[in-house]
Amino acid sequence: MKSITAIYPGSFDPVTNGHLDLIARAARIFDHLVVAVLQNLEKEPLFPAPERVQMLREAAAEWANVEIDLFDGLLVDYVRRRNAQVILRGIRAISDYEYELQMALMNRRFEPGVETVFMLPAERYSYLSSRLVREVARLGGNIEGLVPASVVERLRAKIL
């Protein structure tokens, strides 16, 4: 029987409830889902890579077919190493589409055998991003309901 592994790459600085909504949807479709945290971001992250991984592990513990991993370098090289068939990305609004299309086509150029699959998170998360969560937290706004409880704690500890 064919078994499909999907890689869900991202910065996850930090993981939001929108990411988790997508993980829940994808865990129902794919046999194995690897959430791949990009280690070295272009900008200095708020959370170091091991902490971004730890937050995801805590938040995604309920799904037996979901694995959390770190990667660096080209995404397609990592996808090949993992013998995955799919790159999963979430699209919230039409504004995400252009950047996602560019990435998907660039990745296809390097690895035509891998398909990028786009999924939609629940509408209630369509405005949510890690960048906005960091900003709201930094300015003292309430981020409960936007990120998992353990992330609320870590953000408070980091920012206060």
Query: Binding residues for ligand PNS, per CB under 6 A?
Result: 9-11, 38, 74-75, 103, 106-107
Q: How far is the CB of 117 from ligand PNS (least distance, A)?
A: 13
Q: Which is nearer to ligand PNS, 106 or 149 (CB)?
A: 106
SS (H, E, C) the chain: CCCCEEEEEECCCCCCHHHHHHHHHHHHHCCEEEEEEECCCCCCCCCCHHHHHHHHHHHCCCCCCEEEEEECCCHHHHHHHCCCCEEEEECCCHHHHHHHHHHHHHHHHHCCCCEEEEECCCHHHCCCCHHHHHHHHHCCCCCECCECHHHHHHHHHHHC
Q: Which is nearer to ligand PNS, 9 or 121 (CB)?
A: 9
Q: Which is nearer to ligand PNS, 30 or 71 (CB)?
A: 71
Active-site pick, 2, 3, 43, 109: 43
Q: How far is the CB of 145 from ligand PNS (least distance, A)?
A: 21
CA angle at 137 for the pair 133 and 143, rounded to the nearest 5° = 65
Active-site pick, 19, 89, 134, 154: 19
Any catalytic annotation for residue 130? yes
Return all residues near 135 (Cβ < 8 A) that are at least 6 apart: none
Any catalytic annotation for residue 19? yes
Active-site pick, 92, 108, 129, 158: 92
Q: How far is the CB of 99 from ligand PNS (least distance, A)?
A: 8
Q: How far is the CB of 72 from ligand PNS (least distance, A)?
A: 8
Any catalytic annotation for residue 43? yes
Residues involved in catalysis: 19, 43, 92, 130
